[in-house]
Structure 1
Amino acid sequence: MVAPLKVGIAGLGTVGAEVVRLIEQQSRTLSSRCGRPVRVVAVTARSKAKKRGLDLQGIDWSKNPLELASDPRIDCFVELMGGAGEPALSAIDTALKAGKSVVTANKALIAKHGLKLAKAAEQFGGALNFEAAVGAAIPIVKTLREGLAGTSVNRVYGILNGTCNYILTRMEQEGLSFAECLKDAQRLGYAEANPSFDVDGHDTAQKLAILASLAFGTKVSQSAVYVEGISSIAPEDLRAAADLGFRVKLLGVAVRTAKGIEQRVHPTMVPKTSSIAQVMGVTNAVTIDGEGIPPITLVGPGAGGAATASAVVADIADVARGIRALPFGRPVERLRAIAKAPMERHEGGYYIRLMARDLAGTAATIATRLADQKISIESIVQRHANGVDVVQTAGKAAPVPVILITYATSEDAVHRALDAVQRDKVISGRPQVIRIEKN
């Protein structure tokens, strides 16, 4: 009989408790697939007295994560406490330096300290698995690191935050405001009481930084990601997008360009015909564009106890099988440093919504300013807020929405043109600008 893999789990919240249950429920299947039993032998959490609906008889309780990480009786340390710093960082570092393998769902920690921890895994021989840190049940880490090891990736992009996708879905389908949908998301538990980490794009940025490293062999650097959230998106933008054949999603995009690797998170218009546009609600999706292959899109639950636990247990199973993949697919010393790509250099199509004043020459002024920056217009629509198309006439009418779709141009050119239009005082308020991502 092959000795069992002895697992210690730090953190018994929603995910940790589900991992314990899943290992117990799937014990026979895991033993068959891994060639050895997998057993949880020790755990630790903030409160031992808390009722979790778990049978922990026969499982030791460690005083703290560091004690568990250094316990010679365990082979695999599973960190499910969360947080970009302590005690998670020291606990994982301790476990790796003791030669143990580590499994974590901690995206914040991997985004901030992943290189240091990967180096320790390489030096001391343990695995560092973090499939659950990005996309939960979607096996995107293994796909990029192992499944596409022989493919040159040109672009990886996706919906990496279920909260934002839920809000944008509700806004589109029901015509509700951002504030109304956010409040509902909080009530349903999809958004935190302080939702800024999600809706401002930072959660997506952490996940994108990890994916970019796996895809392009770069050092993980969240600071290299341009970040913009969804709070400025209005129902009229979603209606206009639908009329023009698009849908608005918060995307994380990492793409190889002639100027380097561009990493960005922002609201994006995607064609309704694209796979990513069909992903609604709290679901996540990631598309990979690789050299010589059609785009690959992986879709699934990106959060939740059961979904995240399934990815954690899959990583534990790899440890039990003896699989020791390099955490980022390459030795740490071969990962390239990356500078933040200035968004001013980004090139692509743009959706622009202007509130044009009812003045003679307004349309001509806008067209002139765009032409000055060599921006070509693919389409232009002028309409009242209720969606009825109108022709601008002289008089004292209220400002009218004018929607422009540009051909590919630079971010810098768009901002220069719109700054000039604002100085001309032919529009009210700030223009709305949303980037377009083609298939």
Structure 2
Amino acid sequence: MASSLTSPSCDDADAIDLFSAEASIDLLPLQSRSNSLQPTIHTDFERERKSRTNDVRERFGPMFCRYKASVTKMQKIENSITIHSTVGGDDDDDDDINNIETALGGQQSRRRKVNESIEIIKEKMMRLRNMEEELAASEDRRENLHWLCLKQTSLQALGKIQRYSDQIQTSDLDHRHRIAEVGKEKNALNGKSSMVDELLAQNVRLLEKANDAERLEKELANASKLHHRKEMNFQQQQHKLDEKVAECNKLELQMKDLQDSCDRLKKALHTQEERDLNFELELELVDLKGFQNGHLYSGKNSLKPTHDPGTSPSIAATEPLTLSWTESSITSDRIIVDNDDNSTIIEPSLSVPIRVMNRESIDSDPFVQNLMAKIEALTRENAELRHAKSPVIAESNPTT
């Protein structure tokens, strides 16, 4: 009995293999088996066909899975029974086998049920395959009908298009006239746009000229200010030069007066020196005459005039022999010098005491040397002013 239970027939094995092979098919959307062209314009029909096929798969898919699981379980049980019947085992194995036999509970009836269920599954799978083929054929017919509908609608659309084209041909002349008018308006607008561009360019040039004119006005204003400033500077320099010229002329006059005063002073000194020499000679003559008359000359006694027979009285010494009278006469406010020409020179500005001295002592006198140095300094300053006058005028002249 165990061998009959564990040795399935060849038909059952083939049915199980066929069922497992059919059940291992992927539950993907089925494609059409026809060789017709797929529509490229409308794809909604193809999507609907695939969705219906997927609905069929979804309904029968769980049933296939349950049948496949039951067949797999039964095959495992039969394999285990076969292994235990051929090999044998311990008491535990016998207990397992007894448990399996009690669990099966009438294997023959169940095998008949399994065979019947396999047959039912085969029939259902065949029906499913036929349904798929019918569905593919119906989809092909649906596509053909769709193409026919498209053709009919295209013909109707062509008729409408023909009618529309007739209407368009009737209004074509109006459109052409309108196009011509629009072209003329476009040309006019192009001409106006070119004129506007020219005006804009001219406006830009005028703005540049206005900016140049403003810049020139500013430059002229700056130049006029600079010219006015130069004129003012020239006038100021001219005024300063006039003042310097006046001062130079004044210095020349002062120098000339000083030169004349120096000349007169030198001449007066020479005259005074000659007079002093004459006075000394007269004193010597007086001494000689005093010795001749028997009088002794003493520096403490005063000189008295003597008269020779047949001669006029000469200078008499009534004071001690000193030169105080010459110094007092020179240091007075007015110096009177008698020249050889019997002319009188009055110099009120010189009130300096003059000593009786010879030519060498006059040249070495500090007062005369100081006066000569002052005259030379004034001469040098006058020459410098005259030399600096001409370049300053040439530099301040705006025309140069």
- Superposition TM-score, scaled by structure 1 size: 0.18
Q: Larger radius of gyration, structure 1 or 2?
A: 2
More strand by share: 1
More helix by share: 2
